Amino acid sequence: MGRSRLSIGEFGEISSSRVAGGWRSRSRYRNFAGVIRQLGASAVTKKKAEAALRRKMSAVDLTHRGTALMDENPSLADLGHHWLASRRVSDGREQGTISPSTRDQYRHVLEKTINPSLGSLLLSEVTVPRAEAFLESLIDGPAGSNRALQAKTVLKQSMDMAVRYGYLGANPVTSIRPFPVESASPPRAWSVSDIERVRRAVGEWASRANGRRGPENLWLPALLETMLGTAGRISEALALSWDRVHLDVERPWVRLDRCVREPKRGAHTVGPTKSGDVRDLEIPSFLVAVLRQLRPAHPGQSPVFATSKGTWLRPSAAHRAFRSALDASGIDRSMERHLRPHGARKTAATAIARESGLEDAAAQLGHVGTHTAQRHYIEPEERAIVTNGAILQTLASRTS
């Protein structure tokens, strides 16, 4: 009877024999590719040779596992840590990388959502029913399906890594039944009265700041006008420096090619835009007037919107000031949720789409195609009544 076939990752029996100078122990094993290999070790005595062989056997990567996860059956928290560390981060659009803000979002989902509920489970204990029940509990929570979708994305990608490393035979997350997703509300631009109310609110905020109105207090109204006049993101507007603002030319323009990044941990930095694009945008007269009023005598490369120390303003500080301005003016933000800084971007994009077309609006936003602009930024026009009633009247009954 022949030898029994070894399974993937299995060692055969240890055999030892005398050799010159001592003993040599050998064993066969079948690696992840199914190929039979032989492993050996020598020592002065048989016992030491077998011990040396067993040490070699324990170090052999039989199932093609990587070296990042050292435990035989690591916990889900360990997996998440190594998965996040394996993701390459880039400020540009390099394929296969994620942005620093995406990494921070993934870390937040791991630390605040997944690990408190599932982090102590071993990978072999993360079953389809457990993962499904966890995600369904998130749907019933305050953040609804958005939080569940984020957790599912992180779970799936990290468990894919566990499959690649040989710790799991299949990814349990792929077998979870689809759960209902809240339909997104259509984009809503600001009306003319909305724009004036917001302008009045931030103007009054600037007048109250430090008890007097001065150049150092004009930054919030100017920031609002910049977003309305460029359709830029708040982080892009805050990254403007005076060398990117060209006011004294026939057709004034600004360059949006950077944004202020504010990670959840560490200092905020200035880097490429979200999509890595560069947009040279003609600006309207009302924004030219605002920026001229704000421009210092010797601007150089200093930030347009700077702190008292001349450093870049944080997006969180701008959002906080905007909320304070609206609250002080009596605007109920819980009832008028569209009155947020990002609404200025939607408002500008909608105005361009109405007058010049969807393609021009998408180009102003920095989008390659029109799908994202239409779905997330351009307020839909009111549906027109189809006026075919007279034609259909020809089908009326002739007997009456």
* Long-range contacts, stretch 195-202, CB < 8 angstroms, 24+ apart: 195/228, 195/347, 197/329, 197/331, 197/339, 198/224, 198/326, 198/331, 198/339, 199/224, 200/329, 201/325, 201/326, 201/328, 201/329, 201/331, 202/322, 202/325
Q: Is the pLDDT of residue 343 over 50?
A: yes
Helix H or strand E segment including 259 = strand 258-261
Q: Do 198 and 338 belong to one domain? A: yes
Whether 348 maps to a domain, the answer reads yes
Q: What is the pLDDT of residues 30-88, one digit of tens each?
A: 776 677 888 888 999 999 999 988 888 877 655 444 444 445 678 899 899 889 888 87
Q: Do 162 and 203 belong to one domain? A: no
| Residue 12 confidence (pLDDT) | 85
Q: Do 303 and 257 belong to one domain? A: yes
| Residue 359 confidence (pLDDT) | 94
Q: How many domains does the chain have?
A: 3
Q: What is the pLDDT of residues 107-154, one digit of tens each?
A: 999 999 999 999 999 888 999 999 999 998 888 766 667 888 899 999
Q: Do 205 and 314 belong to one domain? A: yes
Whether 291 maps to a domain, the answer reads yes
pLDDT band at 363 (very low <50, low <70, confident <90, very high): very high
Q: Do 140 and 261 belong to one domain? A: no
Whether 68 maps to a domain, the answer reads no
| Residue 242 confidence (pLDDT) | 95
Whether 400 maps to a domain, the answer reads no
Q: Is the pLDDT of residue 231 over 90?
A: yes
Structure tokens belonging to residue 386: 């189809």
Q: Do 253 and 351 belong to one domain? A: yes
Whether 394 maps to a domain, the answer reads no
Residue, of 194 and 165, whose pLDDT is higher: 194
Domain housing 160 = 76-175
Q: Do 99 and 146 belong to one domain? A: yes
Q: Do 104 and 209 belong to one domain? A: no
**Domain CATH number, residue 304:** 1.10.443.10
* Distance of alpha carbon 9 from alpha carbon 223, whole angstroms: 62
Q: Do 146 and 241 belong to one domain? A: no
Q: What is the pLDDT of residues 169-191, one digit of tens each?
A: 899 999 998 877 666 688 999 99
Mean pLDDT of all residues in 227-236: 94
Mean pLDDT of all residues in 1-30: 82
Amino acid letter for position 186: P
Whether 325 maps to a domain, the answer reads yes
Instruction: Answer yes or no: are the C-beta atoms of 121 and 130 closer than 8 Å.
Output: yes
Q: What is the pLDDT of residues 279-297, one digit of tens each?
A: 999 999 999 999 999 998 8
| Residue 213 confidence (pLDDT) | 47
Q: What percent of the chain is modeled with pLDDT above 90?
A: 47
**Domain CATH number, residue 137:** 1.10.150.130
Q: Do 323 and 356 belong to one domain? A: yes
Tell me how far the alpha carbon of residue 191 is from its chain's centroid: 30
In whole numbers, what is the pLDDT of the chain averaged over residues? 85
